[in-house]
Structures are given as C-alpha cells and as structure tokens.
Amino acid sequence: MPAAIVTGATGITGSAIVRHLIKDPSYTKIYSLSRSNAGLDHPKVQHVHLDLQGNSDHMAKDLAGVSAEHIFFCAYLPNDDPGETDRINAAMLSSFLSALTKMGEDKHIKRFVLTCGFKQYGVHLGRVKQPSLESDPLLLDSAGGVSWPPIFYYTQQQILAKAAKAGNWEWVCTLPEDVLGFAKGNFMNEATAIGLYCVVCKASPGSELPFPGNKDNYLTFNTWTSANLHAQFCLWAAKAAGAGNEIFNVTNGDSESFQNLWPKLAERFGCKIPDQMFSNSGFKDYESSTIQLKNTQHPLILHAKNMGLAKDPIATDAPTLRLQIDPEKWAKRSDVNEIWARLRKQYGLDQMAWEKATWDFLTFVLGRDWNCIGSMSKARKLGWTGYADTWDELVDTFERLEEAGILPPLQQLKHDY
Ligand SMILES: NC(=O)c1ccc[n+]([C@@H]2O[C@H](COP(=O)([O-])OP(=O)(O)OC[C@H]3O[C@@H](n4cnc5c(N)ncnc54)[C@H](OP(=O)(O)O)[C@@H]3O)[C@@H](O)[C@H]2O)c1
C-alpha cells in the first residue's frame, strides 16, 4: 500500500491532490506538508509543519518518520522578480530533496511528481506556438537570439532529473494552464477575481457586465485546468506505465473562449451583456490600459522562420496587453470600492478576498491577444482519458467561494439587486 507526500498541501493544486489521495483506497497514509494551517482533517492524513526555505538538516528533523513511494511537489512561492522566483523555488525543491537523501528516504521513492505550468512555453511573455507541445524548444538563454527571463520550472526540472538519476527513481512533471480551484485562505486565483468582478457589476446601477479585455482576447481560444482534474492526473501519472521521466500538458480537454463563457457568466450572476461590448463610448467612465510587456518578445519567434513568419508582425511586434477596463485600476476606483463595501457588509464577506484578489493576473489574462491551447495528445497516447468541462468547473469553484463567504450567496444577490 503506497504512502504519499504532498508539499504545498494547503495550496490550490496541493489541496486537491490531498483530497483525491484520501478517496483513493490504494493510499493508506498521506503526509501533507506546508508552513501554515493543518490542511485537511482525515484519519489518513498526517500534517507536518515544514518550511522549505529552512536548511535541509532542520528539514530532515521535521520530516522524521515521514516515508513515501510517491511524492507530489506543489509548494510554490512567487516573487515579482523572475530571477528571485527561480532562486527561491529551485532552493525549496533542492533542499527538500537533500533532506530526503540525508534521511535515507530517497531509497523509498518510486515516482516524484512536480507541478509546473504553461509558463514553460512562455505564455506570460507573449504569443506562443499553438498548440503548445511538450517537445517545443525551451526559452533558454539566448534561444532565437533573445535574452529570455529565467523560467523557474526549467531549473526545478534539472534539479529533479539529476536527483532521480542519482537515487534511481523516476520523475514526472505536469504543466497545467490557468488553474480553476479553491483553497482555504488562498485568494490568488482567477475564479475569485472574475467572481468578484461579476458580483460588483451585478450590484452596480444597470447591472451591466462589460468584458474588461480586448476584442481579440474575447475571440481567442483558451484552455483551463481544473484543480480536481490535475489532481486525478497526478495520481494517474504516479503509476502509469511509460509516464516516468516525462513531462505532460494537463488541461481540461475542451477548448474554451470568453465569447462563450462571458454570456454564461452574465446569465449566472444576473447581469446584462452590454449592447455593444467593444464600444469605447459605452465604458467612458472606466480607465483603459495599453501595457507593453518589458524585456520580452513573443516566444513564437523561435518557430517563426520555420513557419515563414520571420518578418511577420505576429512574431516580431512587441507583446502588448490591451484592456478597455483595466481590472487593477477598476479595483481601486472609489465607486467600485463603495459597492464592494456594501456587499461585504450586507453578506458578511471576507475583506481579504478583495484585498488579495489577483487583479494583475486578470489584467494579464484578459489583456493578451494570443491563444493558449496545449495539446493533450502525449498523455492520451499513454492511456489518460480524464476530461473536465471548463464551465462546470468554474461554476463549482464559484459555489465553493460562495460557501466560504468570499462571494455573496447567489440567489440572495439576484433577489436583492
Ligand atoms: N494556480 C494557478 O493558476 C497555476 C497555474 C499554472 C501553474 N501553477 C503552478 O502550480 C504550482 C503550485 O501552485 P499553486 O497555485 O498550487 O500554489 P498556491 O495555491 O499558491 O500554494 C502554494 C503552496 O506552497 C506552500 N508553501 C509556500 N512556501 C512554502 C515554504 N517556504 N515551505 C513550505 N511550503 C510552502 C503554501 O503553504 P504555506 O504558505 O502554508 O506554507 C501552499 O500550500 C506552481 O509551480 C505554480 O506555478 C499554478
């Protein structure tokens, strides 16, 4: 009966993995690791307080008695500086691995599953080749004559592969796209920011729901990753024949777009779609933004010659975000804050949700004008059949946010406004 270790067990991806390990009868013991709260309370779960930024000797002491065949590494600390993000997250993984080695626990590992993401392809830097494939070239050093900012996943993958080779065990790396899920006390997710935007629009005069981003974004295709589906994938990848020492895209398996999702959001929250979604005059009260991304080029440039697009602006122009309503500016407006304050008081909502909501992330995902689709073929060829409907997952996440007092109870909101 295998045991499992989950680092980052209180986060969005990690907590979903713990929940799915609990349901899987083939796991009898789950060690959930993080610095803060005790995570999920269940007889199979033992929470261990662990600071991955501490040194590996201290960590080895904290981990005394912890032993597992399958390890799921979801710990993550973001930083505004990509170089610092690289240094911090590489050090957390490296120290954890060295603590396991010091304890002699590396001998028990069969597979180590590391959660990374679509930044692997540079979706945060500009337009990427579509669909993105696991075999696509990395944005390393001066690939394509461009000085790319560090991508911490690459460093983590190198550290992991080296440790696996030395310890004679296998690694798997997952690449989820924007994750739809909920973790207690963690407000940093796209669904929270979208939900807050929708409820404030609902309570605004006229209840209109203008799309904050640009028209190209509205019409492009995207994929999302359900935290639940990602967890199921990780459990599959920990055991699937042929999955060892491989990297996999993990997306819901449908292709979605805001032209499809936005009217559904309007209907769910009882809002009105504006007659002219992209009429400037309609939203003159809001501040728009045009943001040119600094120190980057479109990763598509690496493929441009091969595609006959080497001189095409689609590959060579400066990556730029365009928003008709910039969520970061919108969330600072006094009228918007007054409406939020009224909702918070009326329904007893969590102020931290508003303060910690990732408006900058929403500015990014709605302001870009490029598709983000990853192929699922590689995993499917090995037998992966998982699938999730993005709209259903979004609704599920909103319901959990409503239960947690982050969004108002929907029927009450619709009745009151
Ligand atoms: N969320 C997304 O939309 C998304 C999308 C694509 C890829 N990803 C990738 O998925 C991975 C996991 O991200 P996530 O969104 O699940 O993260 P998250 O929700 O922010 O959770 C991070 C976890 O790491 C733990 N942690 C942070 N610092 C720690 C430390 N010093 N020692 C021990 N534990 C620490 C946190 O717990 P404590 O604070 O309690 O320690 C928490 O459990 C990352 O590589 C991320 O880039 C995320």
Closest to 380 (Cα-Cα) out of 237, 214, 272, 274: 237
Residue 303 resides in a domain: yes
pLDDT tens digit sequence for 197-240: 999 999 999 999 999 999 999 999 999 999 999 999 999 999 99
Residue 213 resides in a domain: yes
- Please indicate whether residue 117, judged by its CB atom, sits closer than 6 Å to ligand 1: yes
Least trusted range by pLDDT, from 255-264, 274-283, 291-300: 274-283
As a whole number of Å, the CA-based R_g of the chain is: 22
Whether residue 277 is found in the same domain as residue 401? yes
- The number of folded domains in the chain is 2
Q: Is the pLDDT of residue 333 over 60?
A: yes
Mapped to the 3 state alphabet, what secondary structure does 135-174 carry? CCCCCCCCHHHCCCCCCHHHHHHHHHHHHHHHHCCEEEEE
- CA 156 to centroid of ligand 1, rounded, Å: 14
The pLDDT score that the predictor gives to residue 148 is 93
CB 87 within 8 A of CB 26: no
Q: Is the pLDDT of residue 283 over 70?
A: no
Whether residue 202 is found in the same domain as residue 272? yes
CB 226 within 8 A of CB 391: no
Q: Is the pLDDT of residue 375 over 70?
A: yes
Residue 375 resides in a domain: no
Whether residue 239 is found in the same domain as residue 325? no
Whether residue 53 is found in the same domain as residue 67? yes
Whether residue 106 is found in the same domain as residue 189? no
**What's the CATH code of the domain at 146?**
3.40.50.720
Closest to 193 (Cα-Cα) out of 208, 212, 177, 175: 212
Ligand 1 closest atom vs CA 186: 19
pLDDT tens digit sequence for 88-99: 999 999 999 999
Count of alpha carbons within 13 Å of 363, Cβ hemisphere only? 20
Whether residue 240 is found in the same domain as residue 347? no
The pLDDT score that the predictor gives to residue 189 is 85
Measured CA to CA, the distance from residue 212 to residue 287 in angstroms comes to: 10
Helices (H) and strands (E) in the chain, counts: 17, 11
Residue 381 resides in a domain: no
Whether residue 200 is found in the same domain as residue 108? no
Kind plus residue range of the DSSP H or E element containing 74:
none
Whether residue 233 is found in the same domain as residue 313? no
Percent composition of the chain: helix, strand, coil (DSSP 3-state, to 5)? 45, 15, 40
Supply the range of the domain harboring residue 73: 3-179+225-250
Whether residue 230 is found in the same domain as residue 338? no
- Please indicate whether residue 62, judged by its CB atom, sits closer than 6 Å to ligand 1: no
Whether residue 327 is found in the same domain as residue 349? yes
Measured CA to CA, the distance from residue 13 to residue 360 in angstroms comes to: 20
The pLDDT score that the predictor gives to residue 281 is 56
Whether residue 231 is found in the same domain as residue 320? no
Residue 93 resides in a domain: yes
Ligand 1 closest atom vs CA 183: 19
Closest to 177 (Cα-Cα) out of 121, 218, 244: 121
Residue 211 resides in a domain: yes
More confident residue, 141 or 61: 61
Place of tokens 């990753």: 225
Ligand 1 closest atom vs CA 15: 43
Residue 128 resides in a domain: yes
Residue 383 resides in a domain: no
Closest to 139 (Cα-Cα) out of 124, 160, 131: 124
Phi, psi of 132 (to 5 degrees): -80, 135
pLDDT tens digit sequence for 72-111: 999 999 999 999 999 999 999 999 999 999 999 989 999 9
Protein residue with its CA nearest to atom 19 in ligand 1: 11
Whether residue 57 is found in the same domain as residue 161? yes
Ligand 1 closest atom vs CA 9: 43
Mean pLDDT of the chain: 94
CB 13 within 8 A of CB 78: no
The pLDDT score that the predictor gives to residue 238 is 98
Cis peptide before 131 (omega within 30 of 0): yes
Q: Is the pLDDT of residue 282 over 80?
A: no
**Quick one: average pLDDT of 158-177?**
97
- CA 13 to centroid of ligand 1, rounded, Å: 7
Measured CA to CA, the distance from residue 326 to residue 333 in angstroms comes to: 11
For residue 170, list its beta bridge partners.
111
* 84 token code pair: 């610092």
